[in-house]
Amino acid sequence: MTITIIGMGLIGGSMALALKDNGMADQIIGVENNPAHAAKAIELGLADKIESLDLAIEEADLIILAIPVNVAEKLLPTLLGKINKQVVMDVGSTKNTICTIIKNLSNKGRFVATHPMWGTEYSGPEAAVKGAFINKATVICNKENCDADALALVEKIYQSIGMHLIYMEASAHDLHTAYISHISHITSFALANTVLEKEKEEDAIFELASGGFESTVRLAKSNPEMWVPIFMQNKENILDVLNEHISQLRKFKSCLEKDNEDYLRELMVKANTIKRIIK
């Protein structure tokens, strides 16, 4: 099978590695606007060749859209207008907008909306990771809108790279990801800015910061070109959870201001119950 990947970055590149590795792809064609990324994708063996969009569509059996969500939503109508029997899937972190857009497009049954739940704070072809998706979950949204063969192919692709499938309605996906992914990114960006604002002795951060700080702040290294559109597309859900988060932080603040050790302990004991849910 020939697989075209539009966007040879963190996710596109990691998918390329996985699909070459397991033999699902006889050939990976990369589409990449950034010439440096295009060259790097070839150098790293992520793509067998880089082609123009039109050629890459024509030659493909499967087309994977792995570009920022705002670019994907603009490209999708054009893309679906150019395909014949190819299957198109996206891998974006928001699903409601793209699933709404697709409703009025011809060939809409060829499109499968997905979100593999894996990523790192790094971006570009050099960020691609071997074996990235093994034992992770992938979400497939609004599958009832897909042609049966298109859905079956995408399911097979994800299973072949070691992922288990979760089916969800697009708006439910966006709600849940606001809670368990998007808010983590907001808090991490804000925490980095807090520390950069307060700590004027950068050497002290560098010398003293231990694992705890690094793990809470690492998402602050994430690429704005990818994350600004995600936050904007999912802003209603994110605002809702962000308001709750600020109110939770205010509870901690009030405990410290009022020397209320009992309530502080209670808040922390409650937070400890997250152990039940994450490993």
Rounded to a whole number of angstroms, the minimum distance from the CB of residue 74 to a second copy is 15
Q: Which is nearer to a second copy, 147 or 240 (CB)?
A: 240
Rounded to a whole number of angstroms, the minimum distance from the CB of residue 223 to a second copy is 8
Q: CB neighbours of 147 closer than 8 A, spacing ≥ 6? A: 109, 110
130 binds a second copy (CB under 8 A): no
Q: Which is nearer to a second copy, 55 or 268 (CB)?
A: 268
Q: Residue 180 carries which DSSP code?
A: I
Q: Which is nearer to a second copy, 144 or 201 (CB)?
A: 201
Site for a second copy in 136-165 (CB under 8 A): 136-137, 139
Q: Which is nearer to a second copy, 86 or 188 (CB)?
A: 188
User: 3-state class of 53 per DSSP?
Assistant: helix
Site for a second copy in 61-120 (CB under 8 A): 117-120
167 binds a second copy (CB under 8 A): no
276 binds a second copy (CB under 8 A): yes
Residue 36: enclosing H or E segment and its boundaries?
Answer: helix 35-43
Rounded to a whole number of angstroms, the minimum distance from the CB of residue 276 to a second copy is 8
> DSSP labels for 81-128?
HH-SS-EEEE--S--HHHHHHHTTSTTGGGEEEEEES---S--SGGG-
CA distances to 101, 174, 275 from 73, in Å: 7, 16, 37
183 binds a second copy (CB under 8 A): yes
135 binds a second copy (CB under 8 A): no
244 binds a second copy (CB under 8 A): yes
Q: CB neighbours of 35 closer than 8 A, spacing ≥ 6? A: none
The C-alpha atoms of residue 43 and residue 38 are separated, in whole angstroms, by 9
